[in-house]
């Protein structure tokens, strides 16, 4: 190394996939913040396009109607892990995309190939533009969006743990109903034809059922550091 300068860390691309409530968002944000990487929540993008379709009265039982307008909304994601943002046509939708209505409809929209093509292009261009590296979380990042990612993680947890975590976020919510809704959404996301929720062959699987969030974060940070060190 010339001048004895410290080696600059190579930009690293980390893909974190898994079903709902496994800790993807919390882990990805913390890992990105700790390692100085950008962060992209791809679920928020599918939620944003779904919010736009609901708001514009699109018939979400009709894949042809969804496909016909898939290119219309302009979705912009801010990738600072300490303050991620999401807008649709300039409107801040961070709150509206988390409603029960959007959550119950997002799988129907995300299954439409034209929607996936559009959002996948957006995701690839954001990842390519993240000069210092990025953590991208979703369902098909390791398999389809970024198959050449430097590190792929697939998070899992029991349906009971996932439902308890999710209902812990919403005051007065029913764990059994949350569990059923999660299982249904996983089934829809895993069985769709175009880039379903799946573990990439070269992903490291981490079962988070018995782990604290801090333990999961530490595990992923260690895996990234080992990758960077060429181990
Ligand atoms: N290992 C864990 N143990 C306990 N709670 C967790 C764990 N990982 C995440 N959580 C909590 O579970 C909820 C869902 O986590 P989140 O990161 O949003 O999951 P996902 O993005 O996979 O849906 C959040 O309230 C989060 O704080
Ligand atoms: N890469 C991705 C990310 C999300 N999605 C879709 O977007 C939905 C919402 O994703 P999310 O990550 O916000 O869901 P939660 O795990 O936060 O509940 C999923 O149920 C999928 O239908 C997808 O199809 N592909």
Query: Would 139 be classed as within a structural domain?
Result: yes
pLDDT band at 9 (very low <50, low <70, confident <90, very high): low
Report the pLDDT value the prediction gives residue 174, as an integer from 0 to 100: 85
- Name the 3-class secondary structure at 85: strand
d(CA 134, CA 132): 7
Q: What is the mean pLDDT of residues 170-184?
A: 86
Q: Is 156 annotated as a binding residue?
A: no
What residue numbers bound the domain in which 116 lies?
Answer: 11-43+107-224
209 within some domain? yes
Residue 29 lies in a domain: yes
**Mean pLDDT within 75-83:** 98
Query: Which pLDDT band holds residue 8 (cuts at 50, 70, 90)?
Result: low
Asked if the structure places residue 20 within a domain, the reply is: yes
21 is in an annotated binding site: yes
Angstrom distance (rounded) from CA 53 to CA 201? 34
pLDDT higher than threshold 70 for residue 3? no
Ligand nearest to the CA of 116: 2
Q: What angle do CA 2, 134, 119 make, to 5 degrees?
A: 145
Q: Is any atom of ligand 2 closer than 6 Å to the C-beta of 116?
A: no
Sheet holding 85-88, edge to edge: 75-78, 85-88, 91-92
Q: Could you tell me which residues are beta bridge partners of residue 166? A: none
Position 72 in a domain: no
Complex confidence, ipTM: 0.98
Strands 85-88 and 91-92, sheet pairing:
antiparallel
Q: 173-201 burial, b for 16+ CB within 10 Å, e for fewer? A: eeeeebbebbeebbebbeebeebebbbbe
Mean pLDDT, all residues of the chain: 94
Q: Is the pLDDT of residue 6 over 60?
A: no
Ligand 2 atom with the smallest distance to the CA of 182 is: 18
Would you say residue 58 lies in a domain?
no
| Mutational pocket test of ligand 1: of 16, 28, 165, the residue with most ligand atoms within 8 Å of the beta carbon | 165
Give domain status of residue 159, yes or no.
yes
Instruction: Express each pLDDT in 29-69 by its tens digit.
Output: 999 999 999 999 999 999 999 999 999 999 999 999 999 99
Within a domain: residue 219?
Answer: yes
| 120 C-beta closer than 6 A to ligand 1 | no
Give the CATH number, domain containing residue 148. Answer: 3.40.50.300
Query: Given a cut of 50, is residue 5 above it in pLDDT?
Result: no
Instruction: Go through 86-122 and write b for each residue having 16 or more CB atoms within 10 A of its CB, e for each that does not.
Output: bbbeeeebeebbeeeebbebbbbbbbbebbbebbbeb
* Domains held by the chain: number: 1
């Amino acid at each position: 190394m010339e001048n004895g300068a410290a080696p600059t860390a190579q930009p690293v691309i980390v893909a974190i996939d898994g079903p709902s409530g496994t800790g993807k968002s919390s882990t990805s944000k913390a890992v990105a913040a700790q390692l100085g990487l950008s962060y992209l929540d791809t679920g928020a993008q599918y939620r944003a396009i779904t919010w736009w379709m609901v708001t514009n009265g699109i018939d979400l039982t009709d894949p042809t109607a969804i496909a016909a307008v898939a290119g219309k909304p302009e979705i912009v994601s801010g990738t600072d892990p300490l303050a991620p943002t999401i807008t649709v046509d300039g409107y801040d939708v961070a709150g509206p995309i988390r409603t029960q209505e959007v959550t119950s409809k997002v799988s129907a929209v995300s299954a439409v190939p034209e929607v996936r093509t559009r959002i996948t292009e957006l995701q690839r261009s954001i990842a390519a533009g993240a000069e210092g590296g990025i953590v991208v979380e979703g369902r098909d990042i390791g398999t389809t969006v970024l198959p050449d990612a430097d590190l792929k993680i697939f998070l899992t947890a029991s349906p009971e743990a996932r439902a308890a975590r999710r209902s812990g976020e919403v005051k007065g919510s029913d764990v059994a109903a949350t569990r059923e809704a999660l299982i249904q959404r996983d089934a829809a996301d895993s069985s769709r034809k175009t880039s379903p929720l799946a573990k990439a062959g070269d992903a490291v699987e981490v079962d988070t059922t018995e782990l604290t969030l801090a333990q999961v974060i530490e595990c992923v940070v260690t895996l990234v550091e080992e990758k960077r060190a060429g181990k």
